[in-house]
Amino acid sequence: MNRVYTFNAGPSAMPIEVLETAKEQMLCYKNSGMSVLEMSHRSKDYDEIINNAESNLRKLMNIPSNYKVLFMQGGASSQFAMVPLNLMKTKKADYVVTGAFAKKAAKEAEKYGEVRVVASSADQNFNYIPDLDSSIFNDDSDYVHITSNNTIFGTKISNFPKTKTPLVADMSSNILSEKVNVSDFGLIYAGAQKNMGPAGLTIVIVREDLLGNVMAIAPTMFDYKTIADNDSMYNTPPTYAIYICGLIMEWLLSIGGVEEIEKRNHKKADLLYGYLDQSKLFKAVVKKPADRSIMNVTFVTGDKDLDAKFVAEAKEHGLIGVKGHRSVGGMRASIYNAVPFEAVKALVDFMGEFEKNNL
């Protein structure tokens, strides 16, 4: 079996140890006599799986006890609707638009109330993070929505804004990659398929006092309180995805938690950006170091044909998923938590070789 290095934007690389454990337990989970896939979500064995996943996530992110952790479905895209449905008490909210998903979130919220776009980097195809000084936010908004990491464009918010109203963050593409102070946020949400597990699971971390104000029109399943009051078991949760998520949490704890993965992530990102900044062929799309994502690194040669040649040759070398999103073009290497340093090293080595041959 020849495994390649994947730089996919999501679903993306998984820790090999997690895949090995899942393989080992596929037919029989511990002493249950069955696969997790076959298990009732109301069984004792499954109870342990979901409870461990939650408590390990709480440990990793140091989540205070007045926050609920919800295991949901529908992807981060459903959160674009659930956030306003649950939090837009007076039907006004501030949105920071730093990318395609932020734009979608703002557009969805417009269905439910007044959306004030207080900052945007659309003028330069989202290749920077706009100034987020606290003075730009409206005191009478119900919340401020930000996207902590912009998957497509390769930017991230390094300094979270100080807001008087609850800060809501879409952390889909950088949750658990660096330390964050959960109590700075009213709500955090993330699709699992980058740093937390398989597609099909969405995690919401929400401060308890924000629950219970859902709009009357909201579907029962879109009310956070429904999910919170039923310990994510109002209906059948995505059982296998939560199990894999639990294994990833165990893996993260085993290597030293967020502190350790943050170090590893910086080491990987430094190697790649360091190469890009001295290269005569490749250029990083995001110029300002503080705005650069350490999860999604976007770069171009400036020549579309050469970009395509690079992507094709990289694939031949077992470096998969480096084609950039069509709205940016060029290349994007997604170097999430589970992407090992060796993968980034292999990519940088190949880039060096390609540069030599094509300059």
Query: Residue numbers of the site for ligand PMP (CB under 6 A)?
Result: 10, 75-77, 101, 147, 151, 170, 172-173, 191
DSSP string, 89-110: TTSEEEEEE-SHHHHHHHHHHT
The distance of closest approach from Cβ of residue 40 to ligand PMP in the complex, given in angstroms and rounded to an integer, is: 26
Query: Which residue has 């807001």 as its token pair?
Result: 163
Q: Which residue has its beta carbon closest to ligand PMP?
A: 75
Nearer to ligand PMP by Cβ, of 49 and 83: the residue is: 83
> Cα separation of 357 and 313, whole Å?
12
The distance of closest approach from Cβ of residue 193 to ligand PMP in the complex, given in angstroms and rounded to an integer, is: 6
The distance of closest approach from Cβ of residue 238 to ligand PMP in the complex, given in angstroms and rounded to an integer, is: 12
The distance of closest approach from Cβ of residue 173 to ligand PMP in the complex, given in angstroms and rounded to an integer, is: 4
Nearer to ligand PMP by Cβ, of 172 and 301: the residue is: 172
Peptide bond into 238 cis (omega under 30): no
Residue 274 Cα distances to 89, 223, 269, 283, 323, angstroms: 46, 45, 8, 11, 20
The distance of closest approach from Cβ of residue 145 to ligand PMP in the complex, given in angstroms and rounded to an integer, is: 11
Query: Which residue has 């290597």 as its token pair?
Result: 255
Q: How many CB atoms lie within 10 A of CB 98?
A: 27
Nearer to ligand PMP by Cβ, of 269 and 351: the residue is: 269
Nearer to ligand PMP by Cβ, of 94 and 170: the residue is: 170
The distance of closest approach from Cβ of residue 344 to ligand PMP in the complex, given in angstroms and rounded to an integer, is: 20
Q: Are 205 and 211 in contact (CB under 8 A)?
A: no
> Cα separation of 131 and 135, whole Å?
10
- The kind and range of the H/E element at 117 are strand 114-120
Nearer to ligand PMP by Cβ, of 46 and 80: the residue is: 80
Provide the 3-class DSSP secondary structure of residue 310: helix
Cα 335 from chain centroid? 12
Nearer to ligand PMP by Cβ, of 57 and 175: the residue is: 175
Q: Are 61 and 205 in contact (CB under 8 A)?
A: yes
Question: DSSP code of 6?
Answer: E
Nearer to ligand PMP by Cβ, of 245 and 281: the residue is: 245
162-165 contact pairs (CB < 8 A, 24+): 162/134, 163/94, 163/134, 163/137, 164/134, 164/137, 164/139, 165/94, 165/137, 165/138, 165/139, 165/141
Nearer to ligand PMP by Cβ, of 273 and 336: the residue is: 336
Question: DSSP code of 285?
Answer: S
Residue 41 Cα distances to 30, 46, 56, 87, 232, angstroms: 16, 6, 19, 29, 10
The distance of closest approach from Cβ of residue 74 to ligand PMP in the complex, given in angstroms and rounded to an integer, is: 7
Nearer to ligand PMP by Cβ, of 25 and 158: the residue is: 158
The distance of closest approach from Cβ of residue 172 to ligand PMP in the complex, given in angstroms and rounded to an integer, is: 4
E strands, 32-91, where? 67-72
The distance of closest approach from Cβ of residue 256 to ligand PMP in the complex, given in angstroms and rounded to an integer, is: 26
